């Protein structure tokens, strides 16, 4: 069974959102480098790479189902932030936005009785739980320790340990 035109279009839109996410996190990494937080920057670089992998997962799936990928233009991501807490507030808000999009796609697949897409999308539903949890936990630590001093340096070192 081929993808419906509607599902193909929605999945192409999601590729754009995943690529935009990668671009946003890479911009956040560059910002973190500019304020001498290399651990935060590494965490964001790994996050950027993950989002690229998500886009490629949708890309491959569309082709596997006999569809056509049409790439769309990306907007320039923000370059300036008010500090590490702002970065993670925006990260959490962005992940919540992506979760909403994944849920919309899942609902669309249910309505179309597109059981193959449900399998793919369930992986993304589970992934978004992890994404929101990770961003939220780091944000809570930042709220506790503040954005200056030894606590921030320790968190930076901890975030540098994230594997890629």
Please give the pLDDT value at position 119: 96
Q: Is the pLDDT of residue 1 over 80?
A: no
Please give the pLDDT value at position 164: 66
With respect to residue 164, please indicate whether it lies within any of the assigned structural domains: no
Please give the Cα distance from 64 to 123 (Å, whole number).
Answer: 17
Tally of domains in the chain: 1
Please give the pLDDT value at position 22: 98
The parent domain of residue 52 ranges over 5-158
Place of tokens 């992998």: 53
- Written as one string, the DSSP assignment of 46-106 is HHHHHHHHHHHHHHHHHHHTT--------PPPP---SSHHHHHHHHHHHHHHHHHHHHHHH
Per-residue pLDDT tens over the stretch 88-131: 999 999 999 999 999 999 999 999 999 999 999 999 999 999 99
pTM value surpassing 0.85: yes
With respect to residue 163, please indicate whether it lies within any of the assigned structural domains: no
With respect to residue 112, please indicate whether it lies within any of the assigned structural domains: yes
Per-residue pLDDT tens over the stretch 17-53: 999 999 999 999 999 999 999 999 999 999 999 999 9
Please give the Cα distance from 29 to 33 (Å, whole number).
Answer: 6
- Structure tokens, 127: 């992934």
Which CATH number belongs to the domain containing residue 101 in this structure? 1.20.1260.10
């Amino acid at each position: 069974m081929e993808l419906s035109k509607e599902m193909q279009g929605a999945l192409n839109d999601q590729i754009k959102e995943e690529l935009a996410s990668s671009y946003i996190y890479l911009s956040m990494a560059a910002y973190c480098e500019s304020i001498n937080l290399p651990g935060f920057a590494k965490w964001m670089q790994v996050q950027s790479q993950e989002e690229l992998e998500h886009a490629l997962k949708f890309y491959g799936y569309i082709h596997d189902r006999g569809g056509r990928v049409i790439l769309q233009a990306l907007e320039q991501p923000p370059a300036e932030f008010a500090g590490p807490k702002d970065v993670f507030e925006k990260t959490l808000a962005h992940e919540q936005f992506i979760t909403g999009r994944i849920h919309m796609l899942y609902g669309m697949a249910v309505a179309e009785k597109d059981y193959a897409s449900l399998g793919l999308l369930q992986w993304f539903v589970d992934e978004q739980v992890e994404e929101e949890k990770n961003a939220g936990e780091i944000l809570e630590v930042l709220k506790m320790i503040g954005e200056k001093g030894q606590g921030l340096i320790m968190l930076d070192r901890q975030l540098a340990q994230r594997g890629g």
